[in-house]
Amino acid sequence: MATSFKIGDGFVAEQNQKHIAALAEDYAALQRQLARRGIDIEELTREVGAFAVAIPTWGVGTGGTRFARFPGTGEPRGIADKLEDCATIQQLTRATPSISPHFPWDKVEDPNALREQAGQLGLAFDAVNSNTFQDQADQKLSYKFGSLSHTDKAVRDQAVAHNIECIRIGEKLGSKALTVWIADGANFAGQSNLTRAFDNYLSAMQEIYAALPADWNVFIEHKFYEPAFYATVIADWGSSLMAAQTLGDKAKSLVDLGHHAPNVNIEMVVARLVRAGKLAGFHFNDSKYGDDDLDSGSIDPFRLFLVFNELVDAQKRGASGFAPAYMIDQSHNVTDPIESLMGSAIELQRAYAQALIVDRAMLGELQEANDALGAHRVLKQAYNTDVSPILATARQRSGGAIDPIEVYRASGYRAHKAKERPVSGIATAGIV
């Protein structure tokens, strides 16, 4: 069997040499600029270098829409190929050391062997994700009309059993959290009893919660609409928070940036969940119209910065129970998924770095003085600062690529994988 292609560390170092002198100049210039503002660039670079976000295993495959999916070349054929792609992203960005699997998509006979394989690639497992929004080939009962909130207790029991199975697999993988998103809801007024559906959900979730190991959490993910277009059972952060508070300390609310009603102030949602001690973490992406699952920072980078501003504020003041989990959750329909995920990881680091350089003392004074424009100018000063040299330096110092996408393209990784992984299909209807 032919050896699987891997980008060599020597190749990365060779490519870095093309940019090392220019990077040093840019870093020194930024160092002087930040010093005038009382900011230590070296400390900032260390903080940025410690930032990490999980890669979803499904994210390295080509996505689709309700209308069609066009397979890409060299797509992963299974979890082993996904691990290779995720390891490549981590090799070049040094910001994605963990992966988040989805079951049953990533289910294997030997989870211990899968954990060992991931470890050999320098990867660990983040939160595991259950799937009760699709019917599987060997599934006895259908989720067409719901899962954890279904009117039939037998269906609810089946969904509960699947989630508990995910927990048991996750234990073997070294995970510490279960993410639960359900597609349950109604498309017609009167289709379901809105109160009873929520009660059914809570009852089922209590069984899942009881199965959590002592050091685990369950992340409750809400979504405003789709596929339930009239009423979704867990539609917003209020429903998610209510459920988390009902279940107990190990239940927290997950924020997906695309899962809100249009024009919702997501940074305020983050602030409220932090205050309640119930912020689980994030599924990062970007959107223009709804749950578009576009690349992080590609549409509204200022909003992403404002979210991180709240996160850094909570971090700096030592907010109780603040330990958010970060994951990218995107659908790559027209780009190379590896390139999109690397670009997104960099944009998340950028927003984090910009939030770190906000003059919080000055911001607080201006807020107390009700100086609206002055306070806004403090945020814009941080946002308008080009922190790219810090990001690139943090990557280069840890063995990553100064320009990850450039190195990736120069390596011919996708072409090599296209040969190793023959195309298995053509354009198909639907997202999967």
The letter for the amino acid at 61 is: G
Half-sphere exposure of 234 (CA within 13 A, CB side): 29
The letter for the amino acid at 413 is: Y
Q: How confident is the model at residue 68 (pLDDT cuts 50, 70, 90)?
A: confident
Mean pLDDT computed over 161-177: 98
Distance CA 80, CA 91 (A): 17
Average pLDDT, the chain: 96
Rounded to whole angstroms, what are the CA distances from 171 to 78, 125, 174, 176, 297?
Answer: 21, 10, 5, 7, 33
Residue given tokens 């700096």 in the structure block: 316
Q: Is the model's pLDDT at 3 over the cut of 60?
A: yes
- β-strand partners of 249: none
Mean pLDDT computed over 191-213: 98
- Residue 179 tokens read as 């993410």
Q: How confident is the model at residue 29 (pLDDT cuts 50, 70, 90)?
A: very high
Q: What is the pLDDT of residue 2?
A: 59
Q: How confident is the model at residue 424 (pLDDT cuts 50, 70, 90)?
A: low
Task: Tell me the per-residue pLDDT of 121-131, one tens digit each, with 9 for 90 and over.
Answer: 999 999 999 99
